[in-house]
Amino acid sequence: MIRAAGETENAADDDDPGGVAPTFSALLEDSAEDLYEHAPCGYLSTLMDGTIAKINTTLLGWLGFERAELIGRRRFSDLLTVGGRIYYETHIGPMLALQGEAGGLALELRTAAGTQLPVLVTSTVKRGSDGDAQLIRITIFDARDRLAYERELLRARRQADEERDRVRKLASTLQQTLLPPVLMTVPGLQTAAHYHPASVDEVGGDFYDLFPLTGGTWGFFLGDVSGKGAEAAVVTSLIRYTLRAAAVFEPEPISVLNNLNTVLHERFLAGDARFCTVIYGSLVPVPDGCEITLASGGHPPAVVVRADGTARFLHTPRGMLVGGVPNASFTAVTTRLGPGDTLLLYSDGLTEARTTGSSDRYSEEDLLAFLATANATGAAEVIRVLTDLLRGFGDGVEDDTALLALSVPGSDS
């Protein structure tokens, strides 16, 4: 002992000339009994029926009981809250009896003062030399910190859930500002639209609008900004008011797209390399219908479904995507909608959807064939059958999808 202390002193002299040696010496004199009584955890031994046989000072201190109040008088489950007692009797007790141990259990103890102490409990059965179960040994850890930690985890999870809801709400609110809340009614026409966002977490990049110009004429457009999310939404917003402003300034569709191209290409050069594809149209009422002129900037061709059920594309060849190059060229096409005719604009979310049960994608040709056989008359009906079609694709619709239809009511309606 003396020699050991001397050695320790020497070591202490080398490293730390503070007073380590006496502490180390005291540690060596620590007894098993003292370790049991004042361990940094609670110890409890019970008979097989749960009657408390031994308890350490640490646990007594936590509980606020006198030793004599518990030994031989109370059972371990008496120390538990009622809920914990049920759990002990129905679950922990049988586990101990069957496998001799039960660990990692979160329970709450009731203190003498009536407060609750969250603890983590590990129990083992001590067997005699003949293999018979003699005692249950229980180790108890103060779990107030763990409980706080768990509550923090739960709180963090709830907060994450709320944040996610908030982001979704923000995305859907922002989305609403990019689309007309209600499609305006054009005298003598039926109009309908549909928007299907691919994600509830992000703002989509598709857009459409329909608005009055002077002299009974109207402007309308439908398009798709490359990318999605907040940055795409900024561009979508820019496109929307640029198109509306440009249409007032010079309503001819090719001019409108030229204006938009100038604005977007400036951004493109400034570093936000983002383009859009769009069809812009002007609508002039004529007797028994309207005349429509469309200019396309790299967008899939519009479809006209005639009163007799035939469907065909309104091709606008070589109309370039908008914003990518300085002097993009656009082409216009003019058609007349008579009674029973419907014009459909759509985005490629529809024509690039994966069709159910295959890796094939829907195509413009499939859409034309579908409309030719769908026997849908009028804007509302065309949008309805296409909405059903989209629903049928389910998860196959990977991109946002916008649909806008205009029709002249049939002569018989």
Partner 1 sequence: MSDVDVSSRHNVTVIGRTDGPTVLLAHGYGCDQNLWRLVAPVLAKTFRVVLFDHVGAGGSDLSAWSADRYATLDAYAEDVLEICAELGLRDVVLVGHSVSAMIAVLAVNREPALFAKLVLLTPSPCYLDDGDYRGGFSRADIDELLESLDSNYLGWSATMAPVIMGNPDRPELGAELTNSFCRTDPAIAQVFARATFLSDNRADLPKVGVPTLVIQTAQDAIASQEVGRFVHAQIAGSELVTLDAIGHCPQLSAPEVTAEAISAFAGAR
Partner 2 sequence: MSGVFAVTTRTVPTGTVLAFAGELDSGTAPAAHGAMTKLSLNAGDQLVVDLAGLEFCDSSGITVLVSAHNLARGAGAGFALAAVSRQLGRTLDILGLTGLFATYPTADDASAAWSPAGSREDGVV
Binding site for partner 2 (CB under 8 A): 226-227, 269, 273-275, 277, 296-300, 317-321, 324-329
- Choose between 108 and 201: whose C-beta lies nearer to partner 1: 108
155-166 burial string, b = 16+ CB within 10 Å, else e? eeeeeeeeeeee
- Choose between 39 and 125: whose C-beta lies nearer to partner 1: 125
Question: Least distance from C-beta 54 to partner 1, angstroms?
Answer: 19
Rounded CA gap, 324 and 268, in Å? Answer: 7
Rounded CA gap, 50 and 87, in Å? Answer: 14
Question: Least distance from C-beta 70 to partner 1, angstroms?
Answer: 17
Question: Least distance from C-beta 371 to partner 1, angstroms?
Answer: 42
Rounded CA gap, 356 and 10, in Å? Answer: 81
90 contact choice in partner 2, partner 1, none (CB below 5 to 8 Å, kind-dependent): partner 1
81 contact choice in partner 2, partner 1, none (CB below 5 to 8 Å, kind-dependent): partner 1
- Choose between 55 and 332: whose C-beta lies nearer to partner 2: 332
Rounded CA gap, 316 and 292, in Å? Answer: 13
Contact indicator for 272, 297 with CB cutoff of 8 Å: no
Question: Least distance from C-beta 16 to partner 2, angstroms?
Answer: 54
| 378 backbone φψ class: left, alpha, beta (φ>0; ψ -120 to 50) | left
- Choose between 84 and 205: whose C-beta lies nearer to partner 2: 205
Contact indicator for 213, 251 with CB cutoff of 8 Å: yes
147 contact choice in partner 2, partner 1, none (CB below 5 to 8 Å, kind-dependent): partner 1
Contact indicator for 96, 123 with CB cutoff of 8 Å: yes
**Edge-first strand listing for the sheet containing 116-127:** 52-55, 42-46, 133-142, 116-127, 101-110
273 contact choice in partner 2, partner 1, none (CB below 5 to 8 Å, kind-dependent): partner 2
Q: Output DSSP code: residue 398.
A: -
Question: Least distance from C-beta 164 to partner 2, angstroms?
Answer: 20
Sequence length of the chain is: 413
Contact indicator for 57, 41 with CB cutoff of 8 Å: no
87 contact choice in partner 1, partner 2, none (CB below 5 to 8 Å, kind-dependent): partner 1
- Choose between 289 and 324: whose C-beta lies nearer to partner 2: 324
- Choose between 187 and 317: whose C-beta lies nearer to partner 2: 317
User: Where on the chain is the footprint of partner 1 (CB under 8 A)?
Assistant: 48-50, 77, 81-87, 89-91, 93-95, 97-99, 104-108, 118, 147, 150, 153
84 contact choice in partner 2, partner 1, none (CB below 5 to 8 Å, kind-dependent): partner 1
- Choose between 149 and 249: whose C-beta lies nearer to partner 1: 149
Question: Least distance from C-beta 73 to partner 1, angstroms?
Answer: 14
Contact indicator for 225, 207 with CB cutoff of 8 Å: yes
Residue 26 burial (C-beta neighbours within 10 Å; 0-12, 13-18, 19+): exposed
Question: Least distance from C-beta 301 to partner 1, angstroms?
Answer: 48
- Choose between 95 and 380: whose C-beta lies nearer to partner 1: 95
398 contact choice in partner 2, partner 1, none (CB below 5 to 8 Å, kind-dependent): none
Contact indicator for 164, 175 with CB cutoff of 8 Å: no
Contact indicator for 405, 191 with CB cutoff of 8 Å: yes
Question: Least distance from C-beta 112 to partner 1, angstroms?
Answer: 19
Question: Least distance from C-beta 92 to partner 1, angstroms?
Answer: 9
Rounded CA gap, 105 and 111, in Å? Answer: 18
23 contact choice in partner 1, partner 2, none (CB below 5 to 8 Å, kind-dependent): none
- Choose between 300 and 340: whose C-beta lies nearer to partner 2: 300
Q: Across the strands, what pairs with 187?
A: none
End-to-end CA separation in angstroms for the chain: 112
94 contact choice in partner 2, partner 1, none (CB below 5 to 8 Å, kind-dependent): partner 1
Rounded CA gap, 163 and 174, in Å? Answer: 16
Backbone φ and ψ of 408, nearest 5° = -95, 125
